[in-house]
Structure 1
Amino acid sequence: MPRKYRKTLDIEDPSTNNWMTTYGDMVTLLLTFFILLFSISEVNSQKFRAIVNSFQGSPGILKSGSSVFDSRNDDAITNQEIENSFVELKNVLENYLKVKNVDSKILVELDQSGLILRFQDNVLFSSGKANIKTESKLVLLDISDILVKEAFKKYNIRVEGHTDSVPTLTTSKYPTNWDLSVARASNVVKFLIEEAGLTPSRLSAAGFSEYKPIAPNDTIDGKQKNRRVDIVILRSE
Structure 2
Amino acid sequence: MRRKSRRRIKPVSKGHERWLITYADLITLLMIFFVIMFSVSQIDADKYDSLSQDLRTTFRHADGVLEDGKGVTEGQNASVLPHLPVNPTATNPTQQPMTERELQFRQQEQELQQFKSVIETYVQDHQLSSEVSITDTEKGISIHLSDQFLFDLGKAELKEKSQPMLNKLGSLFSQLDTTISIEGHTDDLVIQPGGTYKDNWELSAARALSVLRYFIDQAHLDANKFQIAGYGDTHPVAPNDSALNRQKNRRVEMIVLRKLQQ
Give the TM-score category using the shorter length.
Answer: 0.5 to 0.7
Report what 2:134 is aligned to. 108
CA distance in 1, matches of 2:164, 2:115: 21
Query: What are the within-5 Å matches in structure 2 for residues 167-206 of structure 1?
Result: 167-206=190-229
Q: Could you say which residue in structure 2 is the equivalent of 1:207?
A: 230
In our comparison, the structure showing a higher alpha carbon Rg is: 2
Residue of structure 2 in register with 1:141 after alignment: 167
Answer yes or no: is the 8 Å Cα contact 2:149–2:161 preserved in 1: no
State whether residues 115 and 172 of structure 2, in contact with CA within 8 Å, keep that contact through their aligned partners in structure 1: no
Identity of aligned residues (%): 30
* Structure 2 residue ranges without an equivalent (≥5): 1-95
**Residue matched to 2:148:** 122
Distance in structure 2 (CA, Å) of the matches to 1:138 and 1:85: 22
Q: TM-score, normalised by structure 1?
A: 0.63
Cα distance in structure 2, aligned partners of 1:146 and 1:82: 14
Instruction: Determine the C-alpha separation between the residues in 2 that align with 1:92 and 1:235.
Output: 18
The offset of 1:142, in angstroms, is 2.4
- In the comparison of the two structures, how many residue pairs are matched? 166
Q: Is 1:95 aligned to residue 128 of structure 2? A: no
Coordinate RMSD, CA, aligned: 2.3
- 1:28-177 to 2 correspondence within 5 Å? 73-76=99-102, 78-148=104-174, 150=175, 153-177=176-200
Secondary structure of residue in 2 paired with 1:118: strand
Question: 2:150 touches 2:158 (CA, 8 Å); kept in 1?
Answer: yes
TM, length-normalised to structure 2: 0.58
Q: Supply the distance in 1 between the matched residues of 2:109 and 2:218 (Cα, whole angstroms).
A: 31
How far residue 175 of structure 1 moved from its aligned partner, in angstroms, is 1.6
Which ranges of 4 or more aligned residues in structure 1 deviate by more than 6 Å? none
Give the secondary structure class of the aligned counterpart of 1:193.
helix
The answer to whether the 8 Å contact 1:102/1:139 transfers is no
**Offset of residue 113 of structure 1:** 1.1
Task: State the alpha-carbon separation in 1 of the partners of residues 167 and 102 from structure 2.
Answer: 36
Query: 2:127, 2:186 → 1: CA distance?
Result: 26
The corresponding residue for 1:14 is none
Q: After alignment, is 113-122 or 78-87 more displaced?
A: 78-87
The Cα of 1:76 is off from its aligned counterpart by 4.3
Give the SS at the match of 2:255.
strand
